[in-house]
Structure 1
Amino acid sequence: MPPNPMLERLERTSEIPMQIALFTYSTKPRGSVIHTLELAEALQHLGHTVCVYALDKDGSGFGRSLTCAYQPVPASAAPAAIDQLIQQRIQEFVTFLDGHLANCQYEIFHAQDCLSANALAILRQQGKIPHFVRTVHHIEDYQSIYLQQCQQRSIEDADLCLCVSDYWQQQLAQQYHIHAPRVVNGVNRDRFAAPLPDPQPLRQQWGITGTPVFLTVGGIEPRKNTLQMLNAFAQVRQTLPHAQLVIAGGATLFDYQTYREQCLQRIKELELEQAIVLPGVIPDADLPSLYRCADSFVFPSVKEGWGLVVLEALASGLPVIVSQQAPFTEFLTPEQALFVDPSNPDTIAQAMLQSVQPQVAQALVQNSHTVLETYSWKTSATMHINHYQGFTHARNALQNSMA
């Protein structure tokens, strides 16, 4: 293979050690949280010093051991009203970091979400930190004026914005007139592709007894398109009467109780009570085994920053079904995934039936190997360091010119 001058230059740049603080809003396994952890580990592996800061409501941490440092930020019980909850969480970050950061020598302060970015914006305004970086995984359509303002502040006040897909890079340019360099996501193949013990005990624990088993990870949410997935699965059961659908996950700051109740009611109407498995939040250590319990991964989401769980499913050897829209179309081809119209349960059902046909499944999994080779956390970490150091050099040059 011929040398890649760009990659070689990035790797040389990444050899200069940096002190980095990464901030995330939770210890629960949501997409941006997993991104933060995997990025932190990859940066640490490259020789940099990293500490992850996360709001920790129950003191249990991330449920996995880390090679980098981890600093829990205490979070107490909060009001149910979302505006007041977010306001309290931002203040908890500010209160803790106000004293803590005085003894730290970080070169980069990097928020992975709107909540922690607002806290860093306050601290920068108070002169407690010199700058902050913000990764925009996606832009939310908040109804609350307060949340709209928080999101706008977290993006516009950042000294550097990064994003994880071409689509959201375009949206940031259109909506905020900000150029956000793109960094890639990755997948931990050591976790998801490695040989695992027989998952049968976990199958029994979760009540997974069907044939075949369809899996989705992310919980019941409007943007996960759960209602249409249920409608599609009802059609699948007409052909495959012993099939099960596992809907795992559900930890989020936002209250989707009304939508969840609609989905539970729809399950009753479709008489799917015995066919739907709702195991809730899966312990991090058990997540690779959960994928091994499935035959197909279904993810007809209507909005995603990227969809890390799709890469995890591919690494676990599952055929995947995704929506025919960005960002999925940025990193997958029709040879690597089954694309569907997320608004049409007929196309979702048809893809589910196709995905468990042995020849189709085998071809999809085999063709996805190039995706797994392309998207790695090492590549992501190397890109981050390049942007960090470019940002630092530009700031230093500006300060020197003003001296």
Structure 2
Amino acid sequence: MTELALVTHSTSPRGGMVHTLALAEALQAAGQAVHVVTQGDPAAGLFRPTTVPCTVLPAPPRGGSLSDRVFASIDLLSGALGDMASRFDVLHTQDCIAARAAARVRDAGAPVSVVRTVHHVDDFTTRALIDCQRAAIREPDRVLVVSEQWRRILRDEHGRETTVVPNGVDPDRFPPVTPGRIAELRASIGAQDRFLFLGVGGVEPRKGTHVAFEALARLCARMPHPPMLAIVGGHSFRDYAAYRTETLARLPELGLELGRDVVLLGTLSEADLGAWYRSADALCFPSLQEGWGLAVLEAMAADLPVIAGDLPVFREYLMNRYDALMPATGDATALARAMQEMYADRALRRRLREGGRRTVARWTWAASARRHLAVYEEVRAGAARAAR
């Protein structure tokens, strides 16, 4: 069986890289020879250990504009992939940067097929980046999406037919932690006796952070012992500095204090991320746009009850009040009601945990890997026919 490359542009433990590494491990377990190619700090390696062979290429310098960094990243990746291409017959890319680099290698004559997973389409405003993203949807030989919602979006808005291959979760990724570790983490942010909501994904417009802050402010204004919110993450190739600054600057006028009511945990190690999932009381995930929402399944795998916005993609695998509370997307009042109900109802939290365990059992990386393997065989067969 020919080796397969999974390619992404960053080692940051965000959705694309988490997806890439978990899929690579599941493919390897299924007998597929696989190699991960990514960009970052070669000395630091990946965000967690893995048995999958991996090449970490130096990332471009942080200087210059976002456009400059994107194009530098494409240049570096395409050069490295060109040197490695003889080892692979399929380059499976996880983002627009990797997809454009792989397409360059193919178009230069390498006998490889390019598969792209579109997790979501970014709302770029720079014309060069918009064009780059559109080309990365148009150029691959096969495009995958992780949900029916994005299959419809790519068909209707981009004229591209795609194949749905959902994400998965490793039910054992985040094992239980000791009561002492839970107490230590909660004490470190002053959450000893406060209900703790966990947010995942940083302070970003797509994650609906401003909605979460407005909902939390409603609770803090009327509850004698209100909850608090801790947010994991923050690194992104996109520059959300303006949104982050503006959103955090609004905290005082909302009656919230950074460091007391809202705590920013930043980018965490794999072990620390799992420990926070196990130490919080509920996930608050009011995203305005998601390709799938890996954090939801991660939380459920860690027995953390979930609040998620009522997005079409979430309705593909969640059921309101069975495995999650699903208030109206973008509605701070509805989110505040869901947060207060989660806070007040211990029996509800127990039922959501139980429903979450059943949902996790249906969406595993092993199942996702089997569907990917079928796609790769179709792509290889198509390439063989074209070569005859």
Q: TM-score, normalised by structure 1?
A: 0.91
Letter in 1 for 2:18: I
Range moving further from structure 2, 160-169 or 116-125? 116-125
- Aligned equivalent of 1:277: 263
In 1: Cα distance, 2:269 partner to 2:193 partner: 22
Contact 1:21–1:53 (CA under 8 A) maintained in structure 2: yes
In 1: Cα distance, 2:38 partner to 2:188 partner: 30
- Aligned equivalent of 1:303: 289
Matches within 5 A, 1:133-144: 133-144=115-126
Confirm whether residue 249 of structure 1 aligns to residue 233 of structure 2: yes
Is there any run of 5+ residues in structure 1 with no aligned partner, and where?
1-16
Contact 2:208–2:286 (CA under 8 A) maintained in structure 1: yes
Matches within 5 A, 1:45-194: 45-57=29-41, 59-99=43-83, 101=84, 104-192=86-174, 194=175
In 2: Cα distance, 1:208 partner to 1:283 partner: 20
Closer/same/farther in 2, CA of residues 121 and 206 from structure 1, 3 Å limit: farther
Q: Secondary structure at the match of 2:312?
A: coil
Contact 2:309–2:330 (CA under 8 A) maintained in structure 1: no
In 2: Cα distance, 1:390 partner to 1:163 partner: 16
Closer/same/farther in 2, CA of residues 200 and 80 from structure 1, 3 Å limit: farther
In 2: Cα distance, 1:331 partner to 1:142 partner: 28
Contact 2:102–2:114 (CA under 8 A) maintained in structure 1: yes
Matches within 5 A, 1:33-52: 33-52=17-36
User: What is the aligned counterpart of 2:309 among 323, 331, 350?
Assistant: 323
- Aligned equivalent of 2:247: 263
Closer/same/farther in 2, CA of residues 19 and 168 from structure 1, 3 Å limit: same
- Aligned equivalent of 1:292: 278
In 2: Cα distance, 1:342 partner to 1:240 partner: 27
Instruction: List per-residue Cα deviations over 1:74-118 (Å, max 9, x = no partner).
Output: 12313341111111111111232232x15x421211100001111
Confirm whether residue 337 of structure 1 aligns to residue 321 of structure 2: no
Q: Secondary structure at the match of 1:215?
A: strand
Q: Cα RMSD between the aligned structures?
A: 1.6
Closer/same/farther in 2, CA of residues 128 and 18 from structure 1, 3 Å limit: closer
Q: CA deviation at 1:46?
A: 0.7
In 2: Cα distance, 1:206 partner to 1:26 partner: 29
Which consecutive aligned stretches of 4+ in structure 1 deviate over 6 angstroms post-superposition? none
- Aligned equivalent of 2:177: 196
Q: Secondary structure at the match of 1:109?
A: strand
In 2: Cα distance, 1:251 partner to 1:127 partner: 35
Taking only the aligned residue pairs, the percentage that are identical comes to 35
Confirm whether residue 388 of structure 1 aligns to residue 372 of structure 2: no
In 2: Cα distance, 1:363 partner to 1:35 partner: 28
- Aligned equivalent of 2:208: 225
Closer/same/farther in 2, CA of residues 240 and 280 from structure 1, 3 Å limit: farther
In 2: Cα distance, 1:241 partner to 1:203 partner: 16
Q: CA deviation at 1:203?
A: 3.2
Q: Secondary structure at the match of 1:53?
A: strand
Q: CA deviation at 1:201?
A: 3.0
Contact 1:233–1:349 (CA under 8 A) maintained in structure 2: yes
Is there any run of 5+ residues in structure 2 with no aligned partner, and where?
none
In 2: Cα distance, 1:232 partner to 1:377 partner: 34
Contact 2:74–2:98 (CA under 8 A) maintained in structure 1: yes
Letter in 2 for 1:218: G
Q: Secondary structure at the match of 2:264?
A: strand
Contact 1:221–1:260 (CA under 8 A) maintained in structure 2: yes
Contact 1:184–1:379 (CA under 8 A) maintained in structure 2: no
Closer/same/farther in 2, CA of residues 380 and 28 from structure 1, 3 Å limit: same
Q: TM-score, normalised by structure 2?
A: 0.94
Range moving further from structure 2, 111-120 or 139-148? 139-148
Contact 1:208–1:277 (CA under 8 A) maintained in structure 2: no
Instruction: List per-residue Cα deviations over 1:169-224 (Å, max 9, x = no partner).
Output: 111111222221111111111112x3323333333445543510001100000111
